[in-house]
Amino acid sequence: MKALEFIDGWIFKAYGPCARSLPLFRIFFALYLLVFYLPRYPWVAEMPDSFFHPPVSLAMFFTALPPWWFFYLLDFLLKVGALCLLFGRQTRFISFAMCIGLIIGNSFRYSIGPKIDHDIFIPATLFCLGFSGWGNSLSQDEQHLSQSERRSSSSWPITLLMLMVSVCMLTAAIPKATSGWLSPHVYACRGQIISNYLQNFRPMPLADWLFRIHSFLFWKLADWSTLAIEGGFIFCVISLPSMRFIATMAVFFHAFVYFSMDIFFSINLAVYASLLDFRMGLRKSWIRHSLRRFRLLAHRVRLFHIVLLAIALLGFSYALYFSDVDASRLPNNLFIIAAVVIALVSLLHFLGALTDRLVFGIAFPLRADHSLVILYDGECGLCDKWVQFVLNYDHRGIFRFTPLQSFRGKELLRQAGSTESDLSSMILLIDNRTYLRSTAVLMILRQLGGFWALLGIFALVPVALRDFAYSMVATNRHRWFPRTGDSCRLLRPYERERFLS
Amino acid sequence: MARPIDSTISDEPNRIAIRLLFVGFLLCALVLVVVRECFGEPYPGPFMPAFKGTGLQMESPTEASIILPKMIITFSDQTTAEISQPSLFGYATDSIHRSILFMIVPDPQVEAEEGIKQKFRTWLSKVFPTYRVSKTLASVTVQDDVRKYLHQRLTKLYPSKTPVSLTIYLYKNTFPLADFHKMTSQFISQSTISFHEGA
């Protein structure tokens, strides 16, 4: 019974936080399909029937490729579908219809030659999230829903999608493990890059640089980390934080593959994006404003507009497709760079959480009911600047300040049981617990949030090293940052209240 | 099936159906793995590219080889031009270019499968005649529709000239793994596709 409860908890709750931003993910996913994924089939229409050798698939039931117009029609319908998905029109029906359309089209696409491009994630995403209610908000469908229905969505489809992703990744890891990737005598990554480099004709910016590396450690690390990432998915699927971590690592891996072998795993990146909390973007007023306008647009758009837009987009895509211009390079580069930046920020957040757990023993940001007091040297110019900096960026107004020399400062220290009397040490009191020097500074940064919180990961540096750097600055603070008459700005009334003496 | 985000698990009306969907997916994945082993990779299937081994044909522990083509077009005015795979096969991806090439000329590094797997495949090909029965897909003779396709492609690429034939040379390039620039080429085969009427 407990096992069933555990499984239910995983299926229905583990990916709960992602469900809240599914409507935003739907918009991102539809845009991805429109810009990067479609059209899929114009070249298939050109192929002679002698090339038609389907694998075990729907295409196997055909004796020849369908006529050319079938592929053009399919591309058009998929464009219409992607636009309907974007505006949230009949979202559930469209999700399943696109899933079926792509499986039919891809069955023919992969009947040309023995290569199957592993894009199963796209139909899988459409199938799973079709159940999720991702069209219940920011959509045309929301007009027919009550206020509570608009805020409803299920997280189990994300769990199912992530299980599918993990199983797929496992099918890539197992053949590698059994074909020499683990052996210390085989440089598998290097061989794969050479093979790709010699067979293909595209620029591979990292490849030439990589070929100059002959380090055993580097290449085996590349082999083993590839296996660890691909095989790690199946273990990490158990929880959202672990899945986010492995997906972050996979983004770096896919970026490495893109720049060294020019294999663009954008589909994987698009699917990992379902793990992101898109609502973080809503903190920006211009994004909220844009979404309000998008909602109005989605309410007004009609099928006639979507069909016209699909024709225009398909015409533009085909014109690029059949020209000699390789228009994919710039958007591909931008997409992968954006993914790497998001992954970096995500990684820093992981490190931040790890720092909170291992070094500070507190989870930041703290709630407003905690008492946070910064004690500082009231006669130091650097300390004044630091206090002003904290005042500027502590948007929730959670910190209080008092100079170490003040009666209140000494009283607080006594109450906290601290015997610290060194004026060069910044002290942070959190609910009567005392934190000193670099630890205090880094904890304050963690509490400030945003970019400053990311700097808190320096707490992973051993405390002796951190405090050595801190005392270097503290010793010379009067010389490097002399106190001037105008170093203190005029405090506003609500700021003045935050000083305890 | 969507429900309020903050509702409890017991609020989910289709709990059993959803659990069965998860079990169904795992069972399907298992069946598809068996299908892959017997009949080749199916589509759709829960598979990602394997990138087995080094991706190269190993000649010895320190040496590898790869088959690379050289394609020469001969025009009616007896001039010739070399053409690359991306130019000839156009808009498809690089992996498809290589596939198309080896559907025109046989890939000497792909060996026909034997044994029980091939028996399964041969059996299936009797039911579905177009099914991909083997990894070697090139016909012994170039079919007329392939000839027509190549001719159309070349005419489109060289509108002012008349292509009369396309010759595909295959070379086996052997190199030490430590430095693939030290490559030695060995001629393997030559196939000429003539575009003359009736050819």
- CA distance, residue B155 to nearest chain A CA (Å): 14
- Domain of residue A211: give its range: 192-281+326-364
Q: What is the pLDDT of residues A447-466, one digit of tens each?
A: 888 888 888 889 889 889 99
In this predicted structure, what is the pLDDT of residue A89?
96
Domain count along chain A: 3
- Domain annotation covers residue B199: no
Position A398: which residue type? I
Q: A364, A393, A417 — which closes off a domain?
A: A364
Residues A330 and A403 in one domain: no
Of B165, B2, B64, B83, the C-alpha closest to A134 is B2
In this predicted structure, what is the pLDDT of residue B199?
46
Residues A274 and A258 in one domain: yes
In this predicted structure, what is the pLDDT of residue A118?
72
What residues form DSSP beta bridges with B83?
B71
Residues A147 and A60 in one domain: yes
Contact list, A120 vs chain B (CB under 8 Å): 43-47
- Domain annotation covers residue A121: yes
- Domain annotation covers residue A171: no
What is the pairing mode between strands B63-75 and B80-83? antiparallel
Query: What distance in Å separates the CA atoms of residue A94 and residue A78, rounded to the nearest whole number?
Result: 9
Residues B87 and B157 in one domain: yes
- Domain annotation covers residue B95: yes
Residues A302 and A388 in one domain: no
Label residues A67-105 b or e (16+ Cβ within 10 Å = b).
eeebbbebbbebbbbbbbbbbbbbbbebbebbbebbbbb
Look-up: residue for tokens 């010739």? B80
- Domain annotation covers residue A177: no
Look-up: residue for tokens 């309907």? A84
In this predicted structure, what is the pLDDT of residue A329?
80
Q: What is the pLDDT of residues A382-437, one digit of tens each?
A: 888 888 899 888 888 888 888 888 888 888 877 777 666 667 788 888 887 888 88
Residues A316 and A391 in one domain: no
Q: What is the DSSP letter of A112?
A: B
Q: Per-residue confidence at A112, pLDDT binned at 50, 70, 90? A: confident
Residue A199 near residue B66 (C-beta atoms within 8 A):
yes
In this predicted structure, what is the pLDDT of residue A319?
86
Contact list, A103 vs chain B (CB under 8 Å): 43-44
Residues A42 and A123 in one domain: yes
Residues B71 and B147 in one domain: yes
Residue A153 near residue A134 (C-beta atoms within 8 A):
yes
Identify the H or E element spanning B59. Answer: strand B57-60
Residue A238: is it exposed, middle or buried by C-beta count within 10 angstroms (0-12/13-18/19+)? middle
Residues B24 and B102 in one domain: no
Position A395: which residue type? H
Contact list, B91 vs chain A (CB under 8 Å): 42-43, 321-322
Domain count along chain B: 2
- Domain annotation covers residue A293: yes
Residues A341 and A410 in one domain: no
What residues form DSSP beta bridges with B178?
none
B117 interfaces chain A, CB cutoff of 8 Å: no
Q: A364, A390, A424 — which closes off a domain?
A: A364
Residues A392 and A478 in one domain: yes
- Domain annotation covers residue B174: yes
A54 with B178: Cβ contact below 8 A: no
Residue B88 near residue B96 (C-beta atoms within 8 A):
no
Residue B93 near residue A196 (C-beta atoms within 8 A):
no
Q: What is the DSSP letter of A475?
A: H
Count of Cβ atoms closer than 10 Å to residue B167 Cβ:
15
For residue A187, the Cα-to-chain-centroid distance in whole angstroms is 30
Residues A107 and A150 in one domain: yes
Q: Per-residue confidence at B92, pLDDT binned at 50, 70, 90? A: low
- Domain annotation covers residue B66: yes
A114 with B129: Cβ contact below 8 A: no
Q: Tokens standing for B186?
A: 């060995």
pLDDT higher than threshold 60 for residue A273: yes
Q: What is the pLDDT of residues A313-346, one digit of tens each?
A: 999 988 887 776 667 788 899 999 999 999 999 9
pLDDT higher than threshold 90 for residue B104: no
Residues A271 and A289 in one domain: no
- Domain of residue B15: give its range: 11-40
Contact list, A147 vs chain B (CB under 8 Å): none
- Domain annotation covers residue A379: yes
Residues B82 and B113 in one domain: yes
Residues B92 and B160 in one domain: yes
- Domain annotation covers residue A397: yes
Residues B66 and B85 in one domain: yes
Position A399: which residue type? F
Residues B28 and B66 in one domain: no
pLDDT higher than threshold 60 for residue B7: no
- Domain annotation covers residue B6: no
Identify the H or E element spanning A343. Answer: helix A329-355
Residues A293 and A147 in one domain: yes
Residues A57 and A150 in one domain: yes
Of A150, A161, A85, the C-alpha closest to A127 is A161
Query: What distance in Å separates the CA atoms of residue A78 and residue A72, rounded to the nearest whole number?
Result: 10
Residues B92 and B17 in one domain: no
- Output the CA–CA distances (angstroms, integers) from residue B155 to A364, B76, B103, B105, B147, in the order listed: 67, 12, 21, 21, 12
A to B CB pairs, distance under 8 Å: 233
Residues B163 and B125 in one domain: yes
Rounded to 5 degrees, φ, ψ at A499 are: -95, 125
Residues B152 and B113 in one domain: yes
What is the pairing mode between strands A372-376 and A399-403? parallel
* ipTM for the whole complex: 0.89
Residues B21 and B68 in one domain: no
Residue A486 near residue A382 (C-beta atoms within 8 A):
no
Interface test with B, best of A116, A125, A216, A234 (most B CBs within 10 A): A116
